[in-house]
Structure 1
Amino acid sequence: MNDDDEARRNEIRTMVVEEVKKAIEASIPRLAQEVEGQVLEVANTMVTSKVEELKEMISELQVKKSKRRCTYKEFMACNPLPYKGDVDPIACQRWISSTEAVFTRSRCEVEDQVMFATGLLQFRAKDWWDAYSKELGDDKVQSLTWQEFKESFLKYYSPQSAIDKIQEDFLRLRQKDETIDEITNKFLERVKFCEEIAGTERQRIVRYHAMLKAEYREFVNPSKCATLNELIDWARDREIEIKRQVERGEKRVAEKPTNASPSKKARHQDQSKKGKASGEIPTCKTYGKHHSGECLSGKKGCYKCGREGHPFYRCPENSKACYNCNEPWHIKAECPKLQQGAKRDGKKDEPPKARGRMFQLTSDEAKASPDVVSGTKKEEGASHSKAQSSQDRGKSLA
């Protein structure tokens, strides 16, 4: 082998090395991508497997937690209300609603509801449950459902007679001195037991509006309210405005009546005014007041019979008479027989004077009544004769 061949081989070797180098350099990015893809695939597989393992662990924990029973301590930690045994439908419904809410919050098991709820009974309610459970027996108590317990409980502590009383109170419910919130609470407590008379939203709106004071009813229009809550909001706004008017001095505070039980006379006057206002007595076309029969305004003579010659209180048709001699035209104090007997006996056995009764009338009632006569000359003459006879009796005694 000569030197030329050796040089050619070296040159070829150098060329091959350079080509291989170039090929390797050219394939490095592709190789890196392939390696990176394989590494990412392996990593994704490992992460996916780990995530699945974590999901399985979480599901197992949830299953274990759901299978765990609620304890009585956890039930009592929700602060359920006790029940002391009042025969009151409103209190019964409140207790049942509160206890069922605690069942939901504490995740109480269905078979434990009666046992946990009866632990809340106190005093008379505890006595009732002890007697009722003995009547049922241990086996029936263990299988007693909450619905069965609730039916027996309501039958005893929420009888129909108590519900009827609530319905009567609801029909008579009227706002007096209560605030809007106070009267609203009373309304909502009772309306739950009055489905027959206030079962729809419109019926509740009408009932609530009729229950309010006049100063609220005049301001609030129930026909413009779609819901009861909207009507209550209107009434609250009116209450705030009334308080502001009182503070500014634009409205006087309504005074409470001092006499809780009005007298018989006052009740009679109220009933008389109520009868007149209701239109039982017609209105006079002459002067616009109320009276029955023919109007005698402007006419002379007696208001009872219409004839002249005597006033009303000396009318022959008047049923009043003297208590001593039963004769008309005078009263016992003016009886001639008593006066003659007193003169004959020297006034020693003078009979006691009859006690008079006073009736109070307003000016409008006096004008409206046909039985009242004022300002006539005959009455003045009668009064003068009475005064003169009293003076004569005084002189005879002297």
Structure 2
Amino acid sequence: MADARNINDDNDDNNDAARQEAFENRVTEVAEGVIQANLPRLAQEVESRVLGVVDAMMTNKFEELKELIEGSKSKGRERRCTYKDFMACHPMTYDGKIDPVECQRWVSNIEAVFIRSRCDKEDQVMFATGLLTHQAKDWWDAHSKEIGEDRLQAMTWQEFKGPFMRYHCPQSAIDKIQEDFLRLRQKNESVNEIANNFIDKMKFCGELVTIERMKISRFYGVLKAEVREFITPSKCETLEELIDLARDREIEIKRQEERGEKRPSEKGTCGKLHTGECLLGKKGCFKCGKEGHSSYQCPDNPKTCFNCFEKGHIKSECPKLQQGSKKEDRKQEGSRAKGRMFQITSEEAKSQPNMVSGVKEEGTSTKQAEGAQDRGKAPL
């Protein structure tokens, strides 16, 4: 009996499982049917919603971009430079003095003001020429009439700068700057002053200092000896580094003066470039340093004659020149002997046709005396 009951229970469980599976399958079939029936409508609805969201986003972005563009245009109109804005940047005036340095400085200043004031290109010439005075204004008035009103209205800054620089920076003035640049030396100027002068002139001397090393070497030679002291130009990579070292040296010199200390040049150095110890102020020979003779008589540096190039004497003491001088003296004495004269009495002069006022000259032509007598004149 117990076994029969167990068999019945197992059958019931199997039946329940079968019914559950059949139910789930039915639900799946119904769901799939519903989805298939409503899928086009659902897809259309999803598509509509997605397109609506995208359209809204695009509309918003378009409005933002439009506002940004309009705002930029508005701001651009607000930043347009007026002549008042240009003058608020304090541009320099120019009086037309023929000085390439000052002319170039004015051009650089005006171009910097163009940038700061955001000056429109079509206004640059008009604004800049308003700063010309005296001779510069006279030149511009004449040049404006020459080119005509039409070209004047369309003139760019570069078209203005060409003839302006040619007139106010002539080659003769540039040549003078290059000569001054080569002779430039620091005297009473400070390092900053001589450096500014050096840089201003260097703008027109590009072919003289083509590389940085040449600039360094040239400026080092410009500095005073007391400033050059303790500065090694070969260690500088740029001109700016050398100028900074010179400034530091200048400051140290001033500190020494304030402390009452003497610089090496004030302690007995000659200030000249030479090797070894400076012997200025010491007794004896400057060449060998020994006492008992001067540098002129130094045995370590014997004299050399510039006439015969032999050592031991100078040209004024040259034996060959002295021998030549004696021969020349003998020649002069011989020439004087050929023209000797002697005195005679007046009676002797009357009896001799070639005598002149008591003076008889050997070799006088007889024909000259006879010709004089024929003319009734005393012979000469």
**TM-score, length-normalised on structure 1?**
0.53
Letter in 1 for 2:191: I
Separation of aligned partners in 2, 1:48 and 1:289: 102
Letter in 2 for 1:66: G
Quickly say closer, same or farther: Cα 1:186–1:289, change in 2 above 3 A: farther
Give structure 1 regions of 4+ aligned residues with deviation exceeding 6 angstroms.
45-52
Quickly say closer, same or farther: Cα 1:50–1:291, change in 2 above 3 A: same
Q: CA deviation at 1:218?
A: 3.1
Separation of aligned partners in 2, 1:98 and 1:305: 68
Within a 5 Å distance, the mapping from 1:73-152 to structure 2 comes to: 73-152=84-163
Separation of aligned partners in 1, 2:303 and 2:109: 59
SS in 1 for 2:208: helix
| More off after superposition, 91-100 vs 244-253 | 244-253
Quickly say closer, same or farther: Cα 1:289–1:251, change in 2 above 3 A: farther
1:64 alignment partner, one of 50, 66, 74: 74
Letter in 2 for 1:75: F
Percent identity at matched positions?
Answer: 55
After superposition, what is the alpha-carbon deviation per residue over 1:54-73, rounded to whole angstroms, capped at 9, x for unaligned? 66434312112324642111
After superposition, what is the alpha-carbon deviation per residue over 1:107-151, rounded to whole angstroms, capped at 9, x for unaligned? 111111111111111111111111110111111111111101000
Q: Does structure 1 residue 210 correspond to structure 2 residue 221?
A: yes
Q: CA deviation at 1:93?
A: 0.9
Q: Does structure 1 residue 241 correspond to structure 2 residue 258?
A: no
Within a 5 Å distance, the mapping from 1:1-398 to structure 2 comes to: 53=63, 56-67=66-77, 69-251=80-262, 286=299, 292=305, 295=312
Between the two proteins, the alignment pairs up a number of residues equal to: 238
Letter in 1 for 2:217: V
After superposition, what is the alpha-carbon deviation per residue over 1:33-91, rounded to whole angstroms, capped at 9, x for unaligned? xxxxxxxxxxxx99998787566434312112324642111111111111111111111
After superposition, what is the alpha-carbon deviation per residue over 1:205-238, rounded to whole angstroms, capped at 9, x for unaligned? 0101111112222311111000111111111111
Q: Is the 8 A contact 2:98 2:168 kept in 1?
A: yes
Letter in 1 for 2:171: Q
Q: Is the 8 A contact 1:246 1:253 kept in 2?
A: no
Quickly say closer, same or farther: Cα 1:99–1:294, change in 2 above 3 A: closer
Q: Is the 8 A contact 1:176 1:213 kept in 2?
A: yes
Separation of aligned partners in 2, 1:304 and 1:231: 51
Q: Is the 8 A contact 1:283 1:291 kept in 2?
A: no
After superposition, what is the alpha-carbon deviation per residue over 1:286-326, rounded to whole angstroms, capped at 9, x for unaligned? 26576746648xxxxxx9599xxxxxxxxx97x9xxxxxxx
Quickly say closer, same or farther: Cα 1:216–1:252, change in 2 above 3 A: closer
Letter in 1 for 2:84: K
**TM-score, length-normalised on structure 2?**
0.55
Separation of aligned partners in 2, 1:166 and 1:132: 27
Q: Is the 8 A contact 2:185 2:223 kept in 1?
A: yes
Separation of aligned partners in 1, 2:58 and 2:318: 117
SS in 2 for 1:101: helix
SS in 2 for 1:197: coil
Q: Is the 8 A contact 1:166 1:193 kept in 2?
A: yes
Q: Is the 8 A contact 2:216 2:239 kept in 1?
A: yes
| Structure 1 segments unaligned to the other structure (5+ residues) | 1-44, 256-275, 297-302, 307-315, 320-398
| Structure 2 segments unaligned to the other structure (5+ residues) | 1-54, 267-285, 288-294, 320-324, 329-380
- Aligned equivalent of 1:37: none
Separation of aligned partners in 1, 2:77 and 2:180: 49
Letter in 1 for 2:226: E
After superposition, what is the alpha-carbon deviation per residue over 1:13-38, rounded to whole angstroms, capped at 9, x for unaligned? xxxxxxxxxxxxxxxxxxxxxxxxxx
